Structure 1
Amino acid sequence: MDSLLEKRLQVKRGFKYRYFVSSHYNHSNPALLLLHGWPDSANLWQYVLPYLLPLNCKIVVPDLLGYAGTDKPTDLEAYDYRLMCQDLLDLLAAEGIEGNVITVGHDFGCWFAARFNLLHPERCLATVHIGIAYMPPMPQALDPEVFFHLGQQEDGSSRYIYWELFTSPEAPKLFAQHKEAVWHALHGAPEDMVKQIFCFKYAFKNFLLQDRTDVGLRPYAQNKNLHDGWIQEFSTELQWQASFAWYNSFISGVQTAVDKTIAPEKYSLEMPVLFISCDGDAVNPHSTIDGPKDEGLLPDLTEKELHSGHWCPYEKPEELTLRRLRPGERRPAMACHCAYGRRLHIICPMAYVCRQTRKEVTPMIAVLRPLVPITMDWGFWSNERTEEAVNSSLELWVSKDDGNSVVSKVKYGIHPGRHDVFMVFEQWRLHKIVERKLIAAIRADLVEKGTGLLVGDFDLDRMAALTNKELQNVYTSGWPFSVHWEIYECTKHVAGLHKG
């Protein structure tokens, strides 16, 4: 979290929150509101942030109520979603964020994000659910015995049986006394660890009572700094009691009262939604999205699945954000649903305005297609950077629609580290040569190579609309400089090109 500023705020109802914000951002871009789950804190996002910061959006990452540096009330009424949503609004107001935000939730943060989306839709541009599917309001009181055994399987496993332990009076003390065993239970290496620990009655409790630390840990969980920081945040009985309040507020009916205030016709999330599941999470399989999807509650839904355990922000941060496909790999997931993602660079005597959509590389762009501006680089690039970028060569003869031939020898490539797409015009004429035929040829070449990259059309309509004076200004304004162009609907007509 060193890349963010740490702040504290006393919200209107008196609780003190710790939160983190980015210091460098474009004010015209939407803010990102990252909401962790159980048992985590703002630190959950530490490996994801390096991929989000280049998006130039303001990022707000709170320790939610009951966690880490934020107050830890034990009164369950304090965890009323309406009140906690107002706390978030107080944080946004303190940061001068008056426009819409993109909520990104993991685990219980997904449930919280959904209630923020439903209670304050006017403040939400889009939402991302990582690990847990959208859960519509539940206005009927929960019967714990029924809920705990929902979806019971022939092998005796139940997806929610662990709630029986989490909502028991003994849980805070038990977890505080066996926190090392908790760490191993949550982040153990065995592929079926989640099912074996969470889905069988008494399994989690027995694991802790035996103080089990004999299972291997996933690679990320072996990081000493990550481990030690988490132990410090969850070392006392009070810290655990506050974290379990999120569960008990459901069982006690606090959140049921909130859901009763939401009219059934308002259950639909009328915004772009991305759901990212993890195939190693037996508690939250991808199929859990089918219910709300089939009910028509998610009209603008994008679905992805990662090969990961439940804590994919730790385990697969790159795949969760900006990931290039390779042949045989699964399709990428989040690629920052938050903004415009990677860029298409045009390198020639002077670059021209274009736009880019790469649905398979940054599927979040597809979710937010008309919402966020994209920054294009203009100007000259050094020969060294050009040589580094270009790892594929393609010579094209490009003809204008009027039949007059214009020759352009073009090289294009994918930056090996960032996977941006670069194009270098070795022979250059008027901007008219930059047209759909060129892009179509590069698309075909990329598909043949199996990269999974998808390059969008140049925006010829916008280019044609530039007056001669505006074009002249482009040539004479000097460099480097950037210009913002809005992304508008551009992905619906573009098919995914990844082979297989």
Structure 2
Amino acid sequence: MSFYDLPAWKTSSFNGFKHKYLYIRSSDSSKPVILFLHGFPDGPLGFSATIPYFIHAGYGVLAPELLGYGDTSKPEEIQAYASKNICYILGALLKHENIEEKIIVLGHDFGSSLAARFVQFYPDLAKGLILASAGYSPPGKPFDPDVINAVLSPITGYENVGYIKFMSRPDAAQIIEDHFAAFVALGYAESQVWKERLCPTGAMEKTLKEDYICPMASWVTDDWKRDIAGFILHTGLEAPARWYQALVQGVHIPGEEGLNPNIGIPTLFLQTTEDAVMTGLFTPEGQAPYFSDFTSKPFKTGHWIFAEDPKGSATAILDWFKEKNF
């Protein structure tokens, strides 16, 4: 049975939007629900190989298609993608499903920053936080790719986030759709390829317009390539690209003013050491001062840790759960 054939998928309408999500209750009443928050462009599919380990261990699973993805609503207003609004929706989802016990929030890519913001907006709703690939940044700060590249490039030897300048352009979605095969190959290429073909300013657009098919990572199977391409095509690119526009335009900043930058619940950071985008951007040493209880676990994977090493990543999380008595 494929991930999207599971009978636990639901579609509900609340807060003015339609929402699709996977919800499986905890089979062990002593164990909490894990809220899985995805990034771009894979949606909950990026967790599909990892989620079964948590179900088998008795934990509940709540994995929404976030705003702009899959069959969830795709508002055109950029303000709808502000962190405060998305977190409010997630809180409403918990209430809609009558989830009253404190949850564990797990985020990857864009979902990592969202996970951190959720526990800051709603500190009484979560007992643990997991950040994967992308780490923690304090709330209310602007995101300027040029500034980040200028700081990191002398350290890494290349620009890490130049692609975000392209992704935040209004024409990016159409360019990707016009060169879709090249986009899928680039997105799931070996990390070394990203250093040349994705990360530097202008590289992503050039790669797409050349219709260059990058060598894909060794873990990518034909089934994965089919499933991820199908999900992205079903979603479309225009709405997911609004997450990048919201990031660069700083729509989050007003709503995040006044949030406590420190997080007082146990937090696990899964550091993807071969991730060309995140290298140097999120270090354990830079994040630890914001947390009262911080654990970092390095993984020798690229960006897509839960697809590349589902067993290893799940085992590390479950071991941490035991340590924290979750």
- TM-based fold match above 0.5: yes
C-alpha deviations, 1:427-460, integer Å up to 9, x for none?
xxxxxxxxxxxxxxxxxxxxxxxxxxxxxxxxxx
Residue 168 of structure 1 and its aligned partner are, at CA, apart by: 1.3
Give aligned pairs, total: 322
| CA separation of 1:138 and 1:192: change in aligned 2, threshold 3 A | same
**Distance in 2 of aligned mates of 1:276 and 1:144:** 23
Q: Which has the higher contact order (CA 8 A, sep 6+)?
A: 2
- Look up the match of 2:75: 73
Residue 364 of structure 1 and its aligned partner are, at CA, apart by: 3.7
Residue 221 of structure 1 and its aligned partner are, at CA, apart by: 2.3
Residue 59 of structure 1 and its aligned partner are, at CA, apart by: 0.8
Report SS of the residue matched to 2:105: strand
Report the AA paired with residue 290 of structure 1.
Answer: E
1:90 aligns with 2:92: yes
**Distance in 2 of aligned mates of 1:51 and 1:233:** 23
Report the AA paired with residue 81 of structure 2.
Answer: Y
Residue 23 of structure 1 and its aligned partner are, at CA, apart by: 4.8
Q: How do 1:401-440 residues align onto structure 2 when only pairs under 5 Å count?
A: none
1:112 aligns with 2:114: yes
**Distance in 1 of aligned mates of 2:52 and 2:299:** 19
The list of structure 1 runs, each at least 4 consecutive aligned residues, that deviate by more than 6 angstroms after superposition, is: none
Select the residue among 258, 268, 276 that pairs with 2:262: 268
Q: How do 1:288-367 residues align onto structure 2 when only pairs under 5 Å count?
A: 288-293=283-288, 296-322=289-315, 334-336=316-318, 362-366=319-323
**Distance in 1 of aligned mates of 2:153 and 2:265:** 33
1:240 aligns with 2:221: no
| CA separation of 1:142 and 1:185: change in aligned 2, threshold 3 A | closer
Q: How do 1:14-413 residues align onto structure 2 when only pairs under 5 Å count?
A: 14-23=16-25, 25-139=27-141, 141-143=142-144, 145-147=146-148, 149-153=150-154, 157-189=158-190, 191-213=191-213, 215-224=214-223, 226-235=224-233, 239-262=236-259, 266-285=260-279, 288-293=283-288, 296-322=289-315, 334-336=316-318, 362-366=319-323, 368-369=324-325, 372=326
Which of structures 1 and 2 has the bigger CA Rg?
A: 1
TM-score normalised per structure 2: 0.92
C-alpha deviations, 1:331-363, integer Å up to 9, x for none?
xxx332xxxxxxxxxxxxxxxxxxxxxxxxx23
Report SS of the residue matched to 2:292: coil
Contact 2:186 2:216 in 1 (8 A): no
| CA separation of 1:198 and 1:27: change in aligned 2, threshold 3 A | same
| CA separation of 1:164 and 1:79: change in aligned 2, threshold 3 A | same
State the percentage of identical aligned residues: 25
Residue 149 of structure 1 and its aligned partner are, at CA, apart by: 3.9
- Structure 2 unaligned residues grouped into runs of 5+: none
CA RMSD of aligned residues (A): 2.1
Greater share of helix: 2
Report SS of the residue matched to 2:317: coil
**Distance in 2 of aligned mates of 1:311 and 1:28:** 30
- Structure 1 unaligned residues grouped into runs of 5+: 323-333, 337-361, 373-500
Residue 222 of structure 1 and its aligned partner are, at CA, apart by: 2.5
**Distance in 2 of aligned mates of 1:154 and 1:41:** 31
Report SS of the residue matched to 1:44: helix
Report SS of the residue matched to 2:31: coil
